[in-house]
Chains A and B, each alone.
Chain A
Amino acid sequence: MRVSDLVRSSKATLKHGKMRSLLTMLGIVIGISSVIILMSIGASAQDYILNQVQGLGSNLVIIIPGGSNNGRLSSPAQAQGIIITSLKQQDADALARDPSISAVTEEVRGQAAATFQDNSLTVTFDGVPANFFTVRNFGVAKGYPFTADDVASYNHVAVIGSSLADTLFGAGSNPVGQYINVKNIQFRVVGVLEKKGTGAFGIDQDNLVLVPITVAQTQMLGITYFNDIMVQANDAYNIDFVKARVQTILEQDHGITDPNKDDFTIETQQDVLSLLGNITSILTLFLAAIASISLIVGGIGIMNIMLVSVIERTREIGLRKSVGATDGDILQQFLVESVMLTFVGGVIGIALGALVVSAAWLIINNIAAISWTFEFPLSAIMLAVAVSSVTGIAFGLYPARQAAKKSPVEALRYE
């Protein structure tokens, strides 16, 4: 039997039972489009998260208080509710003196309500030095960032996030020069941050209040330690070398001789990137695996319908055999029908998936105003086509064999 005859005959059969073919295909369409959508979301999320981490600033080494397990990144100690006070001003000073380090910026963090007149919002306030804005790539859209003088003089000035500005002062207004109240201290707003979205570690950078670190430590939190220190590597030095230098300096400073007993954890931006990359890849695969379950269900649907079709077309099978069809011809015919169903279902599924992903992309970018890259991975399309065709063969084989096995005499006699 020629391939052209096989395709033509299968097409005619499927077209004849249009509604049934469409409904049978639906399982595959849903399965394939789910795989496409989830893989696309996974890839886009990965891009987005990695961009956010890269947005931290270039050549950064991050120092978090508390040790780590065998050098692998564990959850920050603060997140576990443990307060670790191992990072102090003398550490920051020691790091700043090293030639491989071009900048050091420390952070302390707390939660409090920010109030303007009757408007109030609970926010994260961040005590930072003046160089924080350049080291961490925090652009100021309105006004100016506070200065080293402000920090040294314990001035009550603040730079606030754009969403917070909208919440407290109303959308579109300019809060620069106004006063807000945080922890019973009046801060003069000197700048508003550029819109940034939720950043690494889940902190919403658009609802932040940045204040001089001196004020935050002494007047708001009453502490002398830091929540983290970030170090910008000197461009002349390799980032791994700088990481090793940071470790040596801090161990000397803390009097630690056994690196396994370090009371701090050092991560480079690259470490965080590769870790997050791994997590999102696993997550994407996991989502795709869940979506493939619906493909199996779709495949069983196809097998079911093909079995019914074999019974309904028993006389046709008998006739075809009586005019010269071999078992192989009959097997091929039914197999091609099921592969055609899954293949067409797969193509429709890809198209539907692409449609949903682009619609989601439009909504996210235009309505939610988050810059989200549209990722439509080629691997997902190839996987979808391969999986749908294999599904057709796998689930079509049994009904096709049932058809081929029929004896012509019995098939012709079938009522």
Chain B
Amino acid sequence: MIDVRDLKKDYIDEGEVTSALRGVSFTINKGDFVSIMGPSGSGKSTLVQILSFLDRPTGGTYTFFGRKTDDLSDIELAHIRNKSIGFVFQSFNLLTRLTSYENVEIPLIYSGVPVASRKKMIEDAIRSVGLEEKIYVETAKLSGGQKQRIAIARALVNDPDIIFADEPTGNLDSVSGAQVMSILDGLNRNGRTVILVTHETNTAEFADRIIRLRDGVLESDTPVKNPHRSREQFAK
């Protein structure tokens, strides 16, 4: 479903060119659970921004569900982000003045779902992360782990094909982190593609496969030997 060939991204700042990606190629199939790792400055954030259509590459090709993406308009990119992609951020990015319900509703607002049909979708999404008792609570009053679970519910509500999780456990204690990872694991077991960005090997090994970047190039792309066992270990 995702195929990148010789993907490049240059940033130009006051005439000086910085290459964040210098030609990266790989394929991710439907249902994969992939971790992207690399030290800071390796280009992993840039890669994820391009894969999730928040940014455009300056070279190479990105094919998404068999379709080349370089000629898509900003509005088409916004629609793809809305329908096909769910985001989970390190810092949650909830609107804390709103309730859990209202936060999870936001993607539905932009996909034009009628107000009457939203309630069930939102309740289902919040139930799937086990926080139905917090549905009408202002998210400012939730714990970090609960916030991240509401953020996952928001990512799920439009039934996307891919979940992008950027350091989802980075701001959480180990118990909350384990809960979040087990939710992501469950989503993947149900057939969703999950792309996880992390710098923790332990978390990365939750995936079936780890893509490592260094200085904007692919350093390695290796399967995880025993991902299920490592998931259980993490859960302990």
A residues within 8 Å of B by Cβ? 1-2, 4-5, 9, 12, 16, 315-316, 318-329, 407-409, 412
Contacts and interface: CB of A to CB of B under 8 A. Distances in A.
Given A326-B74, A327-B74, A5 B81 contact: no
A317 B58 CA distance: 24
Given A412-B89, A412-B93, A324 B110 contact: yes
A329 B110 contact: yes
Interface of B: 49, 52, 54-55, 74-75, 78-79, 81-83, 87, 89, 93, 95, 97-98, 102, 106-107, 109-112, 115, 154, 158
Nearest to A407: B55
Given A1-B110, A409-B49, A409-B54, A323 B95 contact: no
Contacts of A318: 93
Contacts of B75: 326, 328
B93 A315 contact: yes
B55 A409 contact: yes
B60 to A, nearest CB: 18
A4 to B, nearest CB: 7
* Smallest CB-CB A-B distances: 4 pairs: A324-B82, A324-B110, A323-B107, A326-B78
A319 B95 contact: yes
A323 to B, nearest CB: 4
Interface-central residue, B75, B78, B81, by most chain A CB under 10 Å: B78
A323 B55 contact: no
B82 A323 contact: yes
Given A2-B112, A409-B49, A323 B81 contact: yes
Nearest to B154: A323
Contacts of B78: 321, 324-326
Interface-central residue, B52, B75, B95, by most chain A CB under 10 Å: B95
Nearest to B114: A2
Given A324-B83, A324-B110, A319 B93 contact: yes
B170 to A, nearest CB: 15
B110 A4 contact: no
Contacts of A322: 52, 54, 81, 87, 93
Contact of B111 (A315, A320, A321, A324): A324
Nearest to B87: A322
B87 A323 contact: yes
B131 to A, nearest CB: 19
Given A5-B115, A323-B107, A324-B110, 9 more contacts: A2-B109, A2-B112, A322-B93, A323-B82, A324-B82, A326-B75, A328-B75, A407-B55, A408-B55
A34 to B, nearest CB: 34
Nearest to A333: B109
Contacts, number: 64
A328 B74 CA distance: 11
A328 B79 CA distance: 13
A408 B80 CA distance: 14
25 contacts: A2-B112, A5-B115, A9-B109, A12-B98, A12-B102, A315-B93, A316-B95, A319-B106, A320-B106, A321-B54, A321-B81, A322-B52, A322-B93, A323-B106, A323-B154, A324-B107, A325-B110, A326-B75, A326-B110, A407-B55, A408-B54, A409-B49, A409-B54, A412-B54, A412-B89
Contacts of B158: 324
A12 B54 CA distance: 27
Contacts of A9: 109
A319 B109 CA distance: 13
Interface-central residue, A16, A320, A322, A327, by most chain B CB under 10 Å: A322
A318 B93 CA distance: 9
B86 to A, nearest CB: 8
B73 to A, nearest CB: 10
A257 B195 CA distance: 105
B194 to A, nearest CB: 17
A42 to B, nearest CB: 45
Contact of B97 (A12, A323, A326): A12
A5 B108 CA distance: 10
Nearest to B164: A322
A143 B233 CA distance: 114
Contacts of A328: 75
A257 B82 CA distance: 91
B30 to A, nearest CB: 21
Contact of A5 (B52, B109, B154): B109
A202 to B, nearest CB: 61
Nearest to B76: A326
Contacts of B79: 324
A4 B112 CA distance: 11
A69 to B, nearest CB: 67
Contacts of A2: 109, 112, 115
A309 to B, nearest CB: 13
B57 to A, nearest CB: 13
A9 B49 CA distance: 27
Contacts of A316: 95
Nearest to A17: B97
A367 to B, nearest CB: 49
Contact of A323 (B98, B102, B110, B115): B110
B64 to A, nearest CB: 15
Contacts of A4: 115
Contacts of A323: 81-82, 87, 106-107, 110, 154
A408 B77 CA distance: 11
Given A323-B87, A409-B49, A409-B55, A1 B74 contact: no
